Amino acid sequence: MNDFDLVLPAAVDVREVGMRDGLQLEDPLPLADKLAMLEAIVATGVRRVEVTSFVSPKAVPALADADQVAAELHRFPGVHFSALVANPRGAVRAVDAGVPHLEYVVSAADSHSRANAGRGTAEALAAVGEIAALAHGAGGSLEVVVATAWDCPFDGRTPLTRTVDVARAAVTGGADALCLGDTIGTTTPGRVVRLLDAVRRACPGTPVGVHFHDTRGTGQANALAAVQAGVTQLDASVGGLGGCPFAPGASGNIATEELVWWLADAEVDTGIELAAVLAAAAVTERAVGHPLPSSLYRAGGAPVPRGPVRPS
């Protein structure tokens, strides 16, 4: 017999990223649809929402309306909104739009950094200080998202020491928090725990969150491992928005409803109501016009439905 029990934090703070990571590869939505989606997301009880990116509208047409979205955020008091930026120019735009809490992406893998941001990791890191100053000057905060923290679509496995070095440099540069991004959805529980341990040792006192894609079936297992390791900051998107089950390599974030569901069963508080997330997923599905990948949502959402009989 093995007297094992899951030891989990009392509460987990989910950041809803469907509005940003979820929508960025979709066809652009009308502002009204986006705001209906945001309204439904806020109604879930989620406390943090990454609401858009201030990036080139040519690169990400779906988020070209970042300023218009930002102008509506006053309607949702009490929610911690943040936005992703790719450089100091984006940080200026975000701050000017009244969104001073920023996520800045630095790819640990050089090839991904060049493909995604047009410059290598070192150059991307060099901008952390300027972006941090812009955020802090506006009363905001800066989280550096270390993309390709585990694997890169071009370079393969990212050496653990490389990710740790990037994380340390980001904190030295002025980041208030870190987020480890499993950009292509390849990491697994064992690797999650190993990297978290190494990054926390290198950056004591800095909160470290995680950002998983459920591309290879282990998204919630990775989340479980991270939460067991004491992580309380997790990204997720309603309906697992961000991918299509039929497009290899383009799968979405871990689904908010799946995360909230098993956390609730384990008595971890998220402040998020499952039924409201499923409702938000339905709003989102109508808005994007295609099925969402979340298994829980596709199964009808009900944890214990009346269903077909099967032997076992």
Of residues 53-112, those binding its own copies (CB under 8 A): 53, 55, 60, 84, 86, 105, 112
Residue 11 DSSP one-character state: B
Part of the chain binding its own copies (CB under 8 A), chosen from 35-43, 126-134, 248-256, 280-288: 248-256
Asked if 308 touches its own copies (CB under 8 A), the answer is: yes
Asked if 159 touches its own copies (CB under 8 A), the answer is: no
Among 200, 237, 274, 277, binds its own copies (CB under 8 A): 200
Q: Which is nearer to its own copies, 36 or 111 (CB)?
A: 111
179 is catalytic: no
Place of tokens 């929402």: 49
Place of tokens 């941001």: 117
The SS3 of residue 192 is helix
Binding mask 4-43 for its own copies (x = CB under 8 A): xxx-x------------x--xx------------------
CB 253 within 8 A of CB 21: yes
Among 163, 220, 233, 270, binds its own copies (CB under 8 A): 220
Length, in residues, of the chain: 312
**Identity of the amino acid at 199:** V
Q: By C-alpha distance, which of 118, 113, 200 is closest to 158? A: 113
Q: Which is nearer to its own copies, 173 or 293 (CB)?
A: 293
Asked if 307 touches its own copies (CB under 8 A), the answer is: yes
State how far the Cα of 186 lies from the Cα of 193, in Å rounded to an integer.
14
Residues 6+ apart with CB under 8 A from 268: 8, 9, 10, 11, 12, 227
Part of the chain binding its own copies (CB under 8 A), chosen from 75-83, 92-100, 168-176, 247-255: 247-255
Positions 267 through 296 that interact with its own copies (CB under 8 A)? 267, 294-296
Among 80, 157, 286, 290, binds its own copies (CB under 8 A): 157
Which H or E element spans position 282?
Answer: helix 274-288
- CA distances to 82, 168, 185, 199 from 149, in Å: 21, 13, 11, 10
Asked if 2 touches its own copies (CB under 8 A), the answer is: yes
- Which two three-digit tokens encode residue 48? 């943090």
Q: By C-alpha distance, which of 101, 81, 108, 118 is closest to 180? A: 108
Among 49, 225, 276, 279, binds its own copies (CB under 8 A): 225
Positions 111 through 140 that interact with its own copies (CB under 8 A)? 112, 115-116
- CA distances to 189, 206, 242, 306 from 37, in Å: 31, 32, 14, 29
CB of 125: closest distance to its own copies in angstroms? Answer: 15
Asked if 223 touches its own copies (CB under 8 A), the answer is: yes
Asked if 154 touches its own copies (CB under 8 A), the answer is: yes
Asked if 249 touches its own copies (CB under 8 A), the answer is: yes
Identify the active-site residue in 152, 179, 203, 244.
244
Asked if 217 touches its own copies (CB under 8 A), the answer is: yes
Q: Which is nearer to its own copies, 71 or 302 (CB)?
A: 302
Asked if 305 touches its own copies (CB under 8 A), the answer is: yes
Residue 311 DSSP one-character state: -
Question: Binding-site residue total for its own copies (CB under 8 A)?
Answer: 87
Report CA 3 to chain centroid distance, whole Å: 34
Catalytic residues: 244
